[in-house]
Structure 1
Amino acid sequence: QIPLFDNNERALIGKVYAHNGSDAAVLLGMEIVGPRLKSYIEKAREISPERKIILYCWRGGMRSGSLAWLFSTAGMQCYVVEGGYKAYRRYVLEKFRTPLKLIVLGGETGAGKTEILRMLASEGEQILDLEAIACHKGSAFGAIGQPGQPTQEQFENNLFEAFRTLKPDKPVWIENESITIGKLFLPRSLFDQMEKAPLVCISRPFTERLERLVREYAITDHETLTAVFRGLIRRLGSEKCQQAITAVHEGKYEEAAEIALHYYDKVYSRQLDKKQHQIIKTFYIDNTLNFNIQDLITLGKELIFSN
């Protein structure tokens, strides 16, 4: 990004505009940016070696139009967002209302839903990886090993970038999520579609799911795991919570994971009871070696195109 003014300059220009009018504000803006014009061109060429650039204002278009003239004069191909960032945001939020042929991929904790979602993508299936975009895996442990979550607004913008590549007439696989992922909220219109879409539940044996969790979280430091379990004390109960924390500090990760898994299995069962209005199919996986992704793809297409 190449911001034209910093926050203090923007505030000063706004004050001049309010007290002295548009002409005075424009002159002040030109006075501020004049010495920087050469550096703007250099920065634009650095950001975009192919010399194509998109410009936007908050809404008005004066500043982006001026820079478009500058960069065009310098031999760059410029596009100006009509209506500015506010118009872009309206378009983003409206886009989430587009009907999609969603197939929701559910399953108990440790079933490997995210891994399967990416396997589907490698087979050419359309996916919407909400957890990757949200930088969070959804559960109380979901922030572990993830970069910080984006702001709500940036999350929606990033989600839109994935959303706009989807073909509405073809199936789109999406992982089952609540309306919140970490601190972020899914767009209501998208979540409503997920609630009505067919649900395919991945079922794996408890022992296999337990092993997967241990592999994933045993590398996490004790302090982080302890903090997460302390956050679950009201849900686990103080006794189970303390057992899990003790197990973590003693390196008994399987014991700690088993406590967490029993809790999340109960949560999942309650959530599934609330989804009886959806078409629900269970896809059983005894072990990874016997898993054929094409069988899952076939099931998904049957659910979508039989309606």
Structure 2
Amino acid sequence: MSFVIEDYLKEAACEVEQAMDKLLPSGKERMFSRHAGLESTGLLIESMRYSLFAGGKRIRPILALATVETLGGNRQAALPVACSLELIHTYSLIHDDLPAMDDDDFRRGKPTNHKVYGEAVAVLAGDALLTLAFQVLSQVEMPQREKELLQLIRILSDASGYAGMIGGQMADIQAEGKQPDPQTLEFIHRHKTGDLLRAAVQMGAVFAGANEQEILHLTLYAMNLGLAFQIQDDLLDVEGNADQLGKSTGADEAHGKLTYPSLFGLEESHKKLNETTQQALSALNHLPHDTTVLREIANYLLTRVN
């Protein structure tokens, strides 16, 4: 039977969502909280779940699981690691949509969190998801592998902190309306988007017990994949369909964002997208494993429409 990437992504996303559903109280438990006089806690959890289960490709957790699987590790056991990545990603989206940031009204075809629950609740929901990510990761069962567990926590914190995703977001804000600069553009893309994708692959590799050389090649794959992913996002904001994207197009230009199309034009951006994807795929040639899934994920992201 031939491998179908869409089927793989759907199955893996379902596993991740089922695992995440267990991390937050169910509807009945939220009702109990209200009866116990903790309405505020119930509302906060409702807001967290609203964004966490608003859809999405689940690419970051799937990349972690695919890496574990590629290296012969236990995919089911790695689900908490995968979930921690999606919790971080979701928190970042909630905050990124706020009026003080990108001021977006829709995300994945639904009103953004602050449009439904208000800005204060949205901020706290993001904060709570961020905190929950590290709680979940700290509880991953890795007997006699405490050093590797600490490494997982360090990778995620580095990738999502001031020197990673948040640093990229800061640079993105400061670059708005300023003279285009290729170095700044690559810094923003590699950190704001790329670092969490890189972390997903690295965390999967560490969980599966990869050696240093395997981690090196997988890191090169992930770094190029992360850059390609954001270039495609830039292109979709110009060329994409708003209904397929689940949000308005043209937002980057409206906010004066520094993007590949704004700096290099559409033709050069497509060329860079293809080159970067090929560099990601080439890095996998050095691995003594079947890398079909990781390759198919890269090719899928190259041609995605949302």
TM value normalised by structure 2: 0.32
Instruction: Flag the structure with higher strand content.
Output: 1
Higher helix share: 2
Provide the TM-score with structure 1 as the length reference: 0.32
